Amino acid sequence: MPVPSGYRIRPFEPGDLPTLQAITVETFGPVSIDRAIDDAFPGALPGSWADRKTQAIADDCRIEPEGVLVAVDAEGAVAGYVTSRTNSATRIGWIPNLAVGQGSRRLGLGRALLEACKERLLTCGMVVAKIETLEHNEIGRALYPSLGFVEIARQVHYIARLTDEAPQDCEGSEAC
């Protein structure tokens, strides 16, 4: 799958992080497990789903920056990204996050990012690539099988609220 005309895919640069996080917050709301936790238990947690998700993107970029690929337009503006992790022991490559900003949707960028990511994982010696999607994410459920991903299992996420007290800062506490 070629990269859509006017766009290119390049390696992650540290200055990209705030834009990747902004695209994440713009796009992930309807398809975020963290958002579902906030909806089920409003105010229970100290931060919002967006805080937790932007931290997850920062973790992806810190843990394996070379696994992050960024799609940019002709002016160099970031339009989307994919993150990935390699594991030389299991040879399972993991693709934790993928997003394309609203203004660049449906041009083939998501597909091109995933293709480029699969290629990189193969080059790094991975034998399979793993990606997850929520059952109601119709885009993911159409896109991934079209790129050779085969459904192998379904998982149900449960959350138990452990206290009705307002969240407290537990930094420095021995119990934490």
Ligand X SMILES: CC(C)(COP(=O)(O)OP(=O)(O)OC[C@H]1O[C@@H](n2cnc3c(N)ncnc32)[C@H](O)[C@@H]1OP(=O)(O)O)[C@@H](O)C(=O)NCCC(=O)NCCS
Give the residue with the Cβ less far from ligand X, 28 or 94: 28
Q: Tell me, what DSSP letter sits at residue 46? A: S
**Contact between residue 81 and residue 16 where contact means Cβ atoms under 8 Å apart:** yes
Closest approach, Cβ 89 to ligand X, in A, equals 25
Assigned token pair, 140 = 């993911």
**Interface residues for ligand X in 78-107 (CB under 6 A)?**
98-100, 105-107
What is the arrangement of strands in the sheet containing 128-130, beginning at the earlier edge strand? 8-11, 69-72, 78-85, 92-100, 128-130
Closest approach, Cβ 113 to ligand X, in A, equals 7
Q: From the list 8, 35, 111, 130, which residue makes contact with ligand X (rule: CB under 6 A)?
A: 111
**Radius of gyration over alpha carbons of the chain, in Å?**
17
**Interface residues for ligand X in 25-44 (CB under 6 A)?**
27-28, 31
Binding residues for ligand X (CB under 6 A): 27-28, 31, 98-100, 105-111, 133, 137-140, 142-143, 146
